[in-house]
């Protein structure tokens, strides 16, 4: 009996089509659950496709920064996805419900670089030195995989289960900020639904950023001045419903919000 394995190009096309046609089954016919190399190959195919069709890369997002989630997916490291310019929603803006399939929100610290990072070995101190400012952020994650039945390979191939992001208006230099113990409260319609702290993100958001910078250097795509880094969730993600008003407040960074608008 001949076993047919779906190619990376076919998996990439299937994921692209899912943005408009709806969620698809897990990618088991082409990727083993922990096949990181294959999954990033699929992600890269779609990144090149989107750039060739006019989308502009503005940074990267880091996922799987919580040890419990890593354990759930059978891995011992975070993952990353690409941020494009058309993924940003203005603070206080609206995300039309037709733009996503099964969205969830999580509160994060975002870093915006003022300098390139191209050292061979990157530390948290290097990230601090290269960062222009930090802002409160909300990432809206979404999965093109039906019912969020994802493995590590599924989420990596699916651009880190990314969708949209919102950056706060208060741009804070790192000097004087405590991103380790800073508290986070995420509200939906005025009710607190998720709480956390900076330490929940790989022990410190700068640790997560250093991991990403190191990986991107190894991949030949070092982070550059102006890049945005979403450093990972500070607390549990929450499922969104049309009409939800979402707000996150992070100690020292202020607040950020958007509305998941029904038909907007």
pLDDT at 142 over 90: yes
Token digits for 254?
A: 């202020």
Displacement of CA 20 from its chain's centroid (Å): 20
State residue 4's pLDDT score.
55
Q: How confident is the model at residue 67 (pLDDT cuts 50, 70, 90)?
A: confident
Is residue 164 assigned to a domain?
Answer: yes
State residue 144's pLDDT score.
97
Q: Which residue reads 């038909």 in tokens?
A: 263
Is residue 110 assigned to a domain?
Answer: yes
Structural domain total, the chain: 1
Is residue 48 assigned to a domain?
Answer: yes
Q: How confident is the model at residue 118 (pLDDT cuts 50, 70, 90)?
A: confident
Is residue 71 assigned to a domain?
Answer: yes
Is residue 239 assigned to a domain?
Answer: yes
CATH number at residue 124: 3.90.850.10
Q: How confident is the model at residue 3 (pLDDT cuts 50, 70, 90)?
A: very low
Residues 229-249 as b or e (16 or more Cβ within 10 Å = b): bbbbbbbbbbebebebebbbb
H/E run at residue 215: helix 205-218
What percent of the chain stands above pLDDT 70?
97
State residue 1's pLDDT score.
36
The rounded distance, in Å, linking the Cα atoms of 50 and 53 is: 5
Is residue 135 assigned to a domain?
Answer: yes
Expressed as residue numbers, the domain containing 63 is: 8-261
Per-residue pLDDT of 18-41, as tens digits, reads 999 999 999 999 999 999 999 999
Is residue 2 assigned to a domain?
Answer: no
Per-residue pLDDT of 79-92, as tens digits, reads 999 999 999 999 99
State residue 9's pLDDT score.
97
Per-residue pLDDT of 172-229, as tens digits, reads 999 999 999 999 999 999 999 999 999 999 999 999 999 999 999 999 999 999 999 9
């Amino acid at each position: 009996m001949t076993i047919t394995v779906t190619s990376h190009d076919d998996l990439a096309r299937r994921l692209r089509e899912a943005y408009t046609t709806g969620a698809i089954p897990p990618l088991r016919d082409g990727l083993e659950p922990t096949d990181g190399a294959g999954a990033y190959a699929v992600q890269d195919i779609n990144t090149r496709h989107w750039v060739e069709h006019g989308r502009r890369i503005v940074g990267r997002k880091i996922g799987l920064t919580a040890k419990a989630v890593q354990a759930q997916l059978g891995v011992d490291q975070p993952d990353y996805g690409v941020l494009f310019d058309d993924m940003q929603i203005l603070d206080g803006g609206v995300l039309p419900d037709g733009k996503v399939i099964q969205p969830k929100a999580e509160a994060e610290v975002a870093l915006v670089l003022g300098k390139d990072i191209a050292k061979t070995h990157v530390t948290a101190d290097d990230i601090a030195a290269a960062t222009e400012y930090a802002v409160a952020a909300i990432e809206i994650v979404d999965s093109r995989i039906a019912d969020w039945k994802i493995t590590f390979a599924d989420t990596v191939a699916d651009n880190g289960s990314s969708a949209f992001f919102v950056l706060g208006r208060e741009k804070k230099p790192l000097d004087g900020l405590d991103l380790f113990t800073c508290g986070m409260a995420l509200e939906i319609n005025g009710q607190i639904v998720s709480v956390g702290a900076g330490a929940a993100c790989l022990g410190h958001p700068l640790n997560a950023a250093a991991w990403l910078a190191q990986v991107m250097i190894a991949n030949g795509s070092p982070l550059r001045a102006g890049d945005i880094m979403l450093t990972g969730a500070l607390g549990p993600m929450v499922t969104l419903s049309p009409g939800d008003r979402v707000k996150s407040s992070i100690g020292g960074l202020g607040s950020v919000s958007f509305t998941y608008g029904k038909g907007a």
